[in-house]
Chains A and B, each alone.
Chain A
Amino acid sequence: MKNFNQTENSIHTVVSNKIRLSRRGFIVGSAAVAGGGLALGFNVPFGMDEAAAQAAGTEVNAWIVIKPDDTCTIRIARTEMGQGTRTGLAMLVAEELECDWKKVATEQVTAGTNLARKRVWGEMGTGGSRGIRTSHDYVRRGGAAARMMLMQAAADQWKVPVGELAVSNGIITHAASKRTTSYGKVAAAAAKLTAPDPKSITLKDAKDWKIAGKPTRRIDTADKLNGSKVFGVDVKLPGMLCAAIKECPVFGGKLTSFDDAKVAKMPGVRKVVKVGENAVAVVADKWWNAKAALDALPVVWNEANNGAQTSAAIAERLKEGLTAAQTNGTRQNGDAMKAIGEAAKKVEATYSTPFLAHATMEPMNCTARIGTDKAEVWLPTQNAEGALAALAEATGMPLEKCEVYMTDPGGGFGRRGRQDVVYQAAAIAKQFPGAPVKMIWSREEDQAHDFYRPISMFKGTAGLDANGNLVALHMRVSGQSINATLAPANIVDGKDLRQLQGLYEQPGDAQLGYTVPNLLIEYAMRNSHVPVGTWRGVNTNQNGVYMECFMDEVAKAAGKDPLEFRRALMSKHPKHLAVLNAAAEKGDWGKPLPAGVHRGIAQFMGYGSYSAATAEVSIDSKGKLKVHRMVLALNCGHAVNPDQIAAQVEGSVAYGLTATLYGEMTVDKGRIQELNFDSYEIMRLAEMPKVETVIVPTYDFWGGVGEPTICVVAPAVLNAIYAATGKPIRSLPLKNEKLVKA
């Protein structure tokens, strides 16, 4: 068995090599037979029978199923893990479909169905804030194509030119003859028509939107209010067993032995099984019984070479990287080193940020059932197709005989793009052929075996001229590479620019918003034995802190206002500047504050969107920090659901502030030390500042929403603390700092 470590590169290759997809395929879909043709394969794993599925309606095209009562079921391929993508995508489809929003339902596509239908729904992976921004075009085309077919069906029935028809809220009208019909009545006829030529489809301009662009309540809230929503941990299947698992706490270590006789007679225990080379699981009738036995199980680990690793030793390696001669990727213009040497004033500072765990509220889990002719998993995942490929690899079954039923994750934040749990659950379930086995990680296991936000350090050196203008900037990031863990093939000739996210010259995705005449930005790769991955906002988090906090230090050295100092560097980056200005204006920059309250500001870019924030903080006589108010401005291009954008911005503040205040994973004896919320503290409601979201969409691009704003949360707060104390914060989290009012 592989090391449970499917790389990002292999996620697509397995599935997409199988199917060569054409763009046309997305739009046209195959108009299926009315009724039962679509029964199998959608997320109906909890006992929906075929008859019920047949009553589900007519598939007009791959995206849309319409029932006789005019209910429109919109198929969603992306993962909904709280970020509102399901509602947003449905709004975009409904906008083009011209259906009645009150009659919209959604249905989750499964990875196996997508494969069987030649990936008609496109990519399912949901990370990098791309759920909407990379699929808006083809989902809207799906809605538009269905609308055209439905109207054509009505025109055919009435024998009038389709151009004489109008449609609104799913009601088709022929004004001249005063006839009306509804989508539900013509859906069956529409499904038999040939899909329109993609070239004939014109999508609406955002200014004509009636559903999209308006603050809209989520369509998936009801079952989150009464306990009826089925998460992965809640899956119940006939004859199901449960498994609790423990992997060697030292990364890279292996399982030597366990004494199963000691727990064999404990309540409910069925079997103790070795999982791969590095883990052991107890399988029992109930998860609690499995967990109790696992806790009592004597296990011997082979910690291999990593049992002596410590945070201090890792930090030393990163520190060395700050000044090492060789680097792993640079961006430069002018001659920064020379200009710094000649500068009237030099500013230098070193920063550091720790490993962080995702700590999704729902711990990692996977339910697997491996039969002789079928392998299935029920899985909260951000990458169902990657899971399908992993399941095929783990079981040796062909992809066509594998299926992944996606449950909505109880939080993802980048953690659930990994397939480690699929390999584990499949390895366990293989030992119980035909029986479903639900494997759930304990919180301790979840903390101990994350793909952590990488540890990194930064050294900044700035040169100012006699007038306090920034003439040179040298920035060096030293730290662990996400690609080294997840996608080694992306490191070419030792170069890995992924860790410089947000500092790029290239426009459009994660561009630095400043122009500096002499600029040198470098990355020095310093890896450890700790696996790292994508953590909400990924490298923009740390690079945002480094850039924006250092910028405040440089502004102070120049004797300038932090906002004015930034503005002077941003004339060639009007979109960055506009968002910074929006945050400054709504955040009352420059206006008086109550005594003891101080303000900070920051701007940065990631995931195709522009973000800026202001923060207002105070520090009491005991050094306790209070963040009173934050104003966050965001230009995400197209704003599909402003209320859910606000929800994501509010959420990014909580996630980002938790990291700022408390987040830190440390390593001793080769293993993670913070194994639960008593040591890995999470911010609570009482510490939540008042958050105001300012959406400034320019409608000339499509940017992300889930991640972009987190990168300005910490720097805005840290800069406000700097304003309050006069002392820059250069190391996170704040729990390790003593704050003293100036």
Chain B
Amino acid sequence: MAKLNINGKIRDVQAEPGTPLLWVLREWVGLTGTKYGCGIAQCGACSVHINGEVQRSCSIKLSEVKAADKIVTIEGLSPTSSHPVQKAWAVVDVPQCGYCQSGQIMAAAALLKKNPKPSDADIDAAMTNICRCGTYQRIRTAVHMAAGGAPNGNSSAIPSTGKKV
């Protein structure tokens, strides 16, 4: 039996010590917002915060997590889904299928905590999660917006030059 601190609650977990934290969260604790994408820490769909640092939970064994470690998942980021990153994501309409977005949002929230005004280069370096729908441009816009910057308009279409509707 392991004790974990997840989203501020202490949870008892009866999984094998070698079980990845991702699957402990999804199957033993029932928090399915954190996603499986690759299992080898490549895609970042499984990103969570451990003591404020963004981590890829598919590659952390249960035995490597200490009872004192504070784990925050997408479900615990904000009780009202109103974290600045979530709000910016909604305004910019970032998600397409949405599958990778839990991880993207957790990565962005961790970035902004450390670096409240990231440059494009900072975003390039920090936002390395895979999105197959290709929402990267809007992610960049939304990170800037969450940091208090104005939307740079990258995402919106150039007004039609065709027939006026």
Residue contact A685 to B97, C-beta cutoff 8 Å: no
For the complex, give the distance between the alpha carbons of A400 and B121 in Å.
Answer: 56
Shortest C-beta distance, B92 to chain A (Å), equals 9
Contact A684 to B128, CB < 8 A, known contacts A218-B93, A225-B90, A410-B98: yes
**Any B CB within 8 A of the CB of A230:** yes
Residue contact B157 to A645, C-beta cutoff 8 Å: yes
Residue in contact with A221 in the complex, picked from B78, B95, B102, B160, CB distance below 8 Å: B95
Residue contact B23 to A225, C-beta cutoff 8 Å: no
Residue contact A410 to B38, C-beta cutoff 8 Å: no
Residue in contact with A411 in the complex, picked from B27, B86, B93, B99, CB distance below 8 Å: B99
**Any B CB within 8 A of the CB of A371:** no
Q: Which of A655-685 contact B (CB under 8 A)?
A: 655, 676-678, 682, 684-685
Residue contact A82 to B156, C-beta cutoff 8 Å: no
Residue contact B130 to A677, C-beta cutoff 8 Å: yes
The 4 closest A-B pairs by CB, nearest first: A227-B33, A654-B134, A410-B99, A224-B98
**Any B CB within 8 A of the CB of A60:** no
**Any A CB within 8 A of the CB of B96:** yes
Residue contact B39 to A411, C-beta cutoff 8 Å: no
> Which residues of chain B are within 8 angstroms of A635 by Cβ–Cβ distance?
162
Residue in contact with A228 in the complex, picked from B16, B33, B37, B154, CB distance below 8 Å: B33
**Any A CB within 8 A of the CB of B150:** no
Residue contact A226 to B93, C-beta cutoff 8 Å: no
Please choose the segment from A112-120, A388-396, A692-700 that sits at the chain B interface, where 4 or more of its residues have CB less than 8 A away: A692-700
For the complex, give the distance between the alpha carbons of A443 and B34 in Å.
Answer: 16
Q: Interface size bucket, B side?
A: 35 or more
Residue contact A650 to B138, C-beta cutoff 8 Å: yes
Shortest C-beta distance, B109 to chain A (Å), equals 11
Residue contact A647 to B163, C-beta cutoff 8 Å: no
Residue contact A678 to B131, C-beta cutoff 8 Å: no
**Any A CB within 8 A of the CB of B127:** yes
**Any A CB within 8 A of the CB of B114:** no
> Which residues of chain B are within 8 angstroms of A651 by Cβ–Cβ distance?
96, 133-135
> Which residues of chain B are within 8 angstroms of A213 by Cβ–Cβ distance?
165
**Any B CB within 8 A of the CB of A595:** no
**Any B CB within 8 A of the CB of A701:** no
* A-contact bits for B15-45, CB 8 A (1 contact / 0 none): 1101110010011101111111111101101
Residue in contact with A586 in the complex, picked from B36, B40, B93, B158, CB distance below 8 Å: B158
**Any A CB within 8 A of the CB of B53:** no
Residue contact B102 to A227, C-beta cutoff 8 Å: yes
Q: Please, which residue of chain A has its CB at the minimum distance from the CB of B161?
A: A696
Residue contact A647 to B138, C-beta cutoff 8 Å: yes
* A-contact bits for B65-99, CB 8 A (1 contact / 0 none): 00000000111011001000010011001011111
For the complex, give the distance between the alpha carbons of A361 and B162 in Å.
Answer: 36
Residue contact A411 to B90, C-beta cutoff 8 Å: no
For the complex, give the distance between the alpha carbons of A575 and B36 in Å.
Answer: 44
Residue contact B156 to A646, C-beta cutoff 8 Å: yes
Residue contact A82 to B38, C-beta cutoff 8 Å: no
Contact A697 to B37, CB < 8 A, known contacts A411-B97, A647-B135, A654-B136: no
For the complex, give the distance between the alpha carbons of A443 and B30 in Å.
Answer: 21
For the complex, give the distance between the alpha carbons of A682 and B160 in Å.
Answer: 32
**Any A CB within 8 A of the CB of B105:** yes
Residue contact A361 to B99, C-beta cutoff 8 Å: yes
* B-contact bits for A432-460, CB 8 A (1 contact / 0 none): 00000000101100000000000000000
Residue contact A650 to B135, C-beta cutoff 8 Å: yes
Contact A699 to B134, CB < 8 A, known contacts A227-B73, A362-B99, A646-B156: no
> Which residues of chain B are within 8 angstroms of A226 by Cβ–Cβ distance?
33, 74-75, 77-78, 81, 86
Residue contact B163 to A233, C-beta cutoff 8 Å: no
Residue contact B133 to A363, C-beta cutoff 8 Å: no
Shortest C-beta distance, A708 to chain B (Å), equals 15
For the complex, give the distance between the alpha carbons of A288 and B21 in Å.
Answer: 11
For the complex, give the distance between the alpha carbons of A644 and B155 in Å.
Answer: 10
Contact A646 to B105, CB < 8 A, known contacts A287-B27, A676-B42: no
Residue in contact with B40 in the complex, picked from A83, A223, A363, A678, CB distance below 8 Å: A678
> Which residues of chain A are within 8 angstroms of B12 by Cβ–Cβ distance?
none
Shortest C-beta distance, B59 to chain A (Å), equals 12
